[in-house]
Structure 1
Amino acid sequence: MSIEVDGFNASPLFKELGDGLKDPTAVTKAIKGVNAVIVITLKNKEGKENSWVLDLKKDGSLKSVSGPPPKGDVQLLLKDADFVKLANGKANGQKLFMNGKLKIKGNMMKATAIETVFKQLDPRPKL
């Protein structure tokens, strides 16, 4: 199954993250830093839900899952648009959480490490 899912603005970001996960050094660093299976469940403006599972415990794999989200060490639940802002550094995870736009199930400490991982694995050139 493709990482990109129609109707979700976050799809290209997950594709970029997947590209970043092709670098074995980056994957090893991310696994050491997070050591968790992260489930990101997004809801788009049509009300459709989709989850992406990022395994930063074993192999650094990333996959898209439709239907009920699988179990992970931490699950982030938010709107597609808010995730795009978060991934692009236009929104702060703590503010989204405090405003009820980001819900976290599972290990809160693992959730805080995720922002760092996105920055590390971002294949886009740093300006």
Structure 2
Amino acid sequence: MITLNSKMEWLEKNSDEVAKALKAISSPVRLKILRALSNNRLSADDIRKQVGTSRSNITQSLIILKKNKIIAPCHNGNKILYKITNMEILKFITSIEVMFCAKKSKKIGSDKGAY
């Protein structure tokens, strides 16, 4: 059975790693990259087209995500494609998106009765 104490002990031992992972995904561009990679392996240029930012911004973001082992390159002939290696991060991002969408829709709904 997982107890509050065991969760706290785990967090105490792993807090640096957790903080690094959160920092690695705490960029709008990197979040968009992960969303783009959620269903497909993509080249850096395909990612750039989907995310809509500069090549240098994509390159810097890919380096950070690779360094934190969130994505990895895989070779397809002479092309380098990127894939998510940590699907738990994707589940976490999806949970955050759901939470913020629900929060936003509640605000919109509460504004209707204000007038």
Normalised to the residue count of structure 2, the TM-score between the two structures is: 0.29
Normalised to the residue count of structure 1, the TM-score between the two structures is: 0.27
Q: Could you say which structure has the higher strand fraction?
A: 1
Q: Could you say which structure has the higher helix fraction?
A: 2
Structure having the higher Rg: 2
Report which structure shows greater RCO (CA 8 Å, sep ≥6): 1
